[in-house]
Structure 1
């Protein structure tokens, strides 16, 4: 019989204590009901870690008065959408990507907060550091989730991956003030599936032997890569559950799913040969705003471009990256997407340099048309370019722009991320980009 492991105190309990009539429901040591038992628990090493309602969790951690209240993080304007809803708000039906007006109708007493991505990224980096202390094979998927491969780490940590991950979950709660859910399995697909099965503060296990049975009753949409369009296509051919994919003759499956049929079959059987890749090269960064009303005023559009440039530049400095190309993004009132881009003369990390490119592009496009979205993005230069001589972003003492903006980063870190930003230019003190002389670092 398989022993039970307590996620709270990490005590191992036999499946039946001497004289007990049935398996334990609480830990004999600490009284916690958070017990885990699985025949393959100590043989599995691929994990998926997902933060629980991450943005809302950070807000509640930093504002204890919100602990027992429904909290929604997202766009607060008329066209805003929900980024994250805490679990109290989810009880009322609020979900990520839901229009904010609909979320407010479902949960009118919720506290709605705009996202503070810079603050969330600090916590994300702290969590990633904890994961990388366990294994070099950490593959970030987004700001709040990652895959880990702990194969062969038993000797290093003196424990099987399952126990190491339970310790990690406890440390994250104690040190970072947020909670995580963990899925443990034989591959990435099953690990990701497992982490969604028991939230929040979950720890779910899918072994190789029970994978097919666990998958069979689930809707086919739970398979990685199967979206609404594919689900509708499969449903027309009688495929609604993963079990239908498992049991359908291969020739019929291929006719129903086309070239994706073989991949569907493998995943439905719990097979996934993707490896955990520790480095995922960042290729771009962007910041955009959906406006509450359609705007044609060039001054208002410029203000949003300045805010976006400020946000993107801070991301570049935080991640030690540099922009090679600037992209202006606009969406008209009738949903026509307009993008304009230009390559920088040299890589940069400053908002001022980004604006030197973006503002002239905006001036050309702000021709009286009304826009519902405005944003700015950058293409990041390849690592080999940022490491060339002369491209040390450290910040050099003769680079006044970078030195100033790096100093502002420190002020924001101390007093809040929104305390300072780039103001609209003073025509006398700060000439427009077209009239501004090149910064030669003197």
Structure 2
């Protein structure tokens, strides 16, 4: 993994002065999750006078947060939560949004702004939908304006969803915490009452205790980081990768005290082999993370059959085949979780990656279409779409191209494998049970796509 020397430099006193004088980007050191640390350090301002706002105030107070309905001018704030769930016309946005405006200069380093509102698609009234859609535009634009590692994201609630639904508190805690360090300008939709919140601080730290998770492509990079974070959060790990990566796979499995399964995910019986291994070695299976993926880049004019077919086979056809086997098994039937790796290339496309973009857009389509299949088991299926992540692969990109890619986000830096892993761990947790069929970008609000 390449070092981001520029970010290290501008976070020194001299580098900060020089970059500021030259008008260069000044990426901040992001606040990432540390086991045992507080959800967020400092007061949280709550804007809004709704039932949802009252409920979220109670939730945050129960977490031990310092919640302020009327913060003092000039007081440093760790976060601002803006409840816009009762806004019904665009004109009605003025008062709460300008109330938020007055607080923005008080938001500190790695601060958070979280908007909470109802689903635009939940209303057929033109004015209501316009107002709700407007909140999405506000949130995305604000994310571009945040500085010093601060982010802005939103929580979208289904019209008939009560604020007491576990997924609402779960989404809020994730977006306030360091687990969402590289999630910016994005929206978490909560539309069912499924899920369960931890009953103790220890439960929030290890929400996957007693569960068994499969991670494909686990030998190295993002896959290894996913295995490590899921293990940290309490899960037993089945690390899966191809036989050629056997040595590194064994190292990952040993590091997380799990078991290793050498397997080609494109094989016809891959799903059955995963289920058999889980039954024999762990007695259950709760979480499957489809991380295995390959690239075979080429302009479409020069694309060959083997390059196209191999990418489609690994990145999407294998997931479809394994999911069919999982859903046919009673072993994978108790509130199961599936999380797939998509990509921003599947959202916005990328030069030389028609095969890869097709496969990753396919993942997004598969996830949205599979929501009801998992819902019948009180389970969920979601996808994570990483942007520029510091891995062995991106370290091979030419220096100038790599530097440009790092700065093409609102956070002006690449993400780390752990950023992807933290988001996957959240989506795999019981507190995310109200969210399904979603693709969540982990890209620092990369300046491509939606």
**TM-score for the superposition, normalised by structure 1:** 0.25
User: Rg bigger for which structure?
Assistant: 1
**TM-score for the superposition, normalised by structure 2:** 0.25
